[in-house]
Chains A and B, each alone.
Chain A
Amino acid sequence: MPKFSTKVKTKKGAENEYLPRAAEITKIRDLNPEVKHYTLKFKDGKALEYKPGQFVQVSLFGVGEAPISITSTFERGDDLEIAVRKAGSLTNAIHELKEGEELFIRGPYGNSFPWQEYKGKDILFVAGGIGLLPLRSVMNAIFHHRKDYGKIWVLYGSKCPTDCVYSDELVSWSKIEDVSVLQTVDSPASGWKGNVGVVTTLFSKIEFDPDKTIAYLCGPPIMIKFTNLTLEEKKMRPDDIITTMEMHMKCGIGKCGHCLIGHKYCCTDGPVFTYAQLKTLGAEE
């Protein structure tokens, strides 16, 4: 009997999992002054197969590497798309890149949003700020199979109207049959006619059945905390509340140790967790 052992089977794959592939930036669009959206095509011609909620490790050699959520949906044939907020040295350098230039990508990593098993359910998306970026992958997967699901709500809060990302898509989603898109901002600019307040203030405007609704959340920690509490008050089961977490990561493959949430690795055990799981990890806030 060996002293140390694991039941986890080793994946056969790339010889050196740390070695990324070159991808060309085919399109850049500005989502807000801080966030850019990149469409990528691998230079070796091989596409990447990924699931909603997974992430990739994005490199700019000489600057560094970081985990970035995939915002596109393989299910409907999208090219690989990521959205990057200017936050540190790497993301600032990525913002300097132009169409035609290259980024290095490895992955996809992490688990994914469960969604196919929720056919027939009502779906509630709650996003805050750039929390909409990773949620978009599962939103478009579900919209792509619209008739398989019940009612759908999208609650989206941002700091101010100019902070809002995917404004055009929020409009087109609201035109899908039986999809309600509700928006709110913390501080309105002149001309803003919508709701003002944090995202939980939108809950007074909708009515959902906690027994047949699945909630997907993503946003800043404070938003997640209060949304979880509100959903629990409305009698939703913690197993039906699904969120995706962000942590500092260096490897994406469960080795570097930086992304521990309790004893789980955000990169290989997550990034998608249910509220019930986060409670057992002591990381519900």
Chain B
Amino acid sequence: MQNLKIKTQNLIKLIEALKKKATVLAPQADEYKDVYLKAVSDPSKVILKHFKPLMPAVREALFGQVENMINFKKSKGNTKLSTVDESQETVLFGIPACDVAGIQYNDVFFGQREFADFYYTKAREKLTIISLACVTPPNDNCFCATMGHGPIAEEGFDLQLTDLGDGAFLVNVGSKKGEKIVADNKALFEDATDADSKKFEEIKKKAEKLPVGKNINKDKALGNMGREALNEKMMLEITDRCISCGACNYTCPTCTCFNVVDHQKAGEGMRKRILDSCILGGYFRMAGGHNPKGKRDERTRNRYFCKLEWDKEKFGDSGCVGCGRCLDACPVKIDIKEVMASLA
């Protein structure tokens, strides 16, 4: 499909139109000027500049921090169960390419494989992704280009916007859903001229060359993740500094682990799942007390192997999409880029 273009004022009108049928989650500033994804009520308040949300976009719309699963009611020795389906039409607007890649990972992890996850699948069917490409890195910890997941996405979005810098955005259409949005709002879009497309290519070239992350040879680093080759010293240094807070897991767009708990009050309650972290000491502990990964180095090792080696084995690519959030959030500044640099 030919590239399209949308003027800034029309983009605001598009958000207005989308808002009628769905909850639009878009970057907006709160009273303290902190920017995060939240439901749009006034489209003119949406910040139309590329940014990296503090929490990955997948958490906001698909796999939440806490999710209701099963409602239960007890009476006279019988328990009545009902599946909770809280999915609703949602648009993720203005998310970066690393988050688009994160959702692609979750699509495979939750939506495919042996068992499809009911809650994820339901929410995913109702999700539209309108991403906004990063023309400059949102912060110094970004390294999506190194990992091959940005800064401008190739796929995984319904629509992708790139700021052309002249009051208009170039629009890439990535799916049937995206085509439908364009068809339903024809008057807001225009065809991109050759000059626009040329400009887009230039922006893309420049963005990919920006110093996002260290100069790491990804393939070499991942290839050296093998058990024997892994730099033991590096691993121990990480373990020495790690304080087992779990922030890296909670902010990672491809961390999928969860815990399940029942909350009950007077015979009525909810089974919920809560995002979990393999860095935490009790993560692997079994009833009765046996803990197969009771030592911190066993758990940090688990995290790095999971991200950089096992995911590659299972899903064809490393689970790290280069968003840099683990470093953004880490109180002791453990840098996954340094781990990779030590291997390459």
Contacts and interface: CB of A to CB of B under 8 A. Distances in A.
Given A3-B101, A3-B316, A258 B114 contact: no
A20 B81 contact: yes
Interface residues of B, number: 61
Contacts of A256: 257-260, 273, 276
A232 B104 CA distance: 45
A3 B104 contact: yes
Given A4-B317, A260-B302, A282-B227, A87 B258 contact: no
Given A8-B113, A17-B118, A255-B110, A102 B256 contact: no
Given A19-B83, A64-B261, A64-B262, A4 B115 contact: no
A119 to B, nearest CB: 29
B70 A18 contact: yes
Contacts of A18: 69-70, 83, 118-119, 271
A3 B74 CA distance: 46
A199 B144 CA distance: 54
Interface stretch (B126-134, B306-314, B331-339): B306-314
B87 to A, nearest CB: 12
A137 to B, nearest CB: 21
A4 B105 contact: yes
B155 A2 contact: yes
Given A87-B288, A255-B256, A263 B114 contact: no
Given A3-B101, A6-B108, A87-B288, A102 B77 contact: yes
Given A247-B284, A257-B257, A6 B314 contact: yes
Nearest to A16: B118
A3 B149 contact: yes
A8 B113 CA distance: 5
Interface in A229-270: 246-248, 250-251, 253-258, 260-261, 263, 268
B258 to A, nearest CB: 5
A91 B287 CA distance: 9
Contacts of B271: 18, 61, 65
A263 B312 CA distance: 11
B6 interface: no
Nearest to B255: A257
Nearest to A14: B118
A2 B114 contact: no
Interface string A59-76: 001111110000000000
A90 B112 CA distance: 31
A10 interface: yes
Interface string A179-195: 00000000000000000
A8 B112 contact: yes
Contacts of A64: 260-262
Contacts of A253: 114-115
Given A64-B262, A251-B260, A258-B284, A16 B74 contact: no
Nearest to A269: B114
Contacts of B267: 62
B256 A10 contact: no
B45 interface: no
B99 to A, nearest CB: 13
Contacts of A22: 78-79
A55 interface: no
Given A6-B112, A62-B262, A19 B78 contact: no
Nearest to A90: B287
B107 A10 contact: no
B79 A61 contact: yes
A5 interface: yes
Contacts of A177: none
Interface string B270-304: 01010010100001111110101000000000100
Nearest to A66: B287
B309 A263 contact: yes
A11 B316 contact: no
B269 interface: yes
A89 B261 CA distance: 12
A225 to B, nearest CB: 13
A261 B284 CA distance: 10
B76 to A, nearest CB: 11
A273 interface: no
B17 to A, nearest CB: 30
Most buried by A among B109, B114, B290, B317: B114
Contact of B317 (A3, A17, A85): A3
A114 interface: no
A20 B257 CA distance: 21
Interface string A99-130: 01110100000000000000000000000000
Given A4-B316, A20-B81, A88-B287, 10 more contacts: A3-B105, A4-B108, A6-B113, A10-B115, A13-B115, A18-B271, A19-B70, A61-B271, A257-B258, A282-B227
9 contacts: A3-B156, A6-B112, A9-B114, A17-B117, A61-B72, A100-B77, A250-B276, A253-B114, A254-B115
6 closest A-B pairs by beta carbon, nearest first, are A88-B287, A257-B257, A263-B310, A62-B264, A87-B288, A87-B287
